[in-house]
Amino acid sequence: MLISIIEDDALHLQILTRWLVKAGKYQVQPFETSEDFFNHRQASGDVERVLILDACVEGALSCDLIHQIRRSSGEASCVGIVLASSLPDPQNANVIETCDIDAFLNKDHINPTGLEIAITLAARSGSRRRHAMLRNKALSQP
């Protein structure tokens, strides 16, 4: 399963990547900026099944980035999104309520098992989105 990670904290990016590679069942694409992520996605045509996203990238909350992903066309909009955050609880609640995410991880308490559970939940949500998109596309064709 292809997983992209957007995390601007080098240590968190390294830890998440190491855990996923060690699990042996994921292809991992790490990115430090959303620009790097979108440039790679456009150049390669790769569409990940799950995106692990820091709640605050490049000094800004990631809600706009999530909205941009959900507005993209085709399968790119169906990606399962795991939001990882070390923001204080009230800010986490606001981000979770306003963004279309599939799983949430508190970076202060993250572990490999919790990470894999979040990925599984996000992948299932992404799969449901893809099926719904394909079904709607088939129904709209004459």
Give one DSSP letter per residue of 43-54, joined into a string: HH----SEEEEE
We report the CATH number of the domain holding residue 106 as 3.40.50.2300
The whole-number pLDDT of residue 88 equals 61
130 is in which domain, residue-wise? 2-140
Tell me the chain's radius of gyration from C-alpha atoms: 15
Name which of 138, 106, 128 is nearest 49 in CA terms.
Answer: 128
- Least confidently predicted of 55-59, 83-87, 97-101, 106-110: 55-59
**Total tally of structural domains belonging to the chain:** 1
pLDDT band at 137 (very low <50, low <70, confident <90, very high): confident
Tell me what percent of the chain is helix, strand and coil, each rounded to the nearest 5: 55, 20, 25
**How much is the pTM?**
0.85
pLDDT in tens, 35-59: 899 899 888 887 889 999 988 777 6
Which two structure tokens, joined as six digits, stand for 79? 């990606």
pLDDT in tens, 110-123: 899 999 999 999 99
DSSP type of residue 77: G
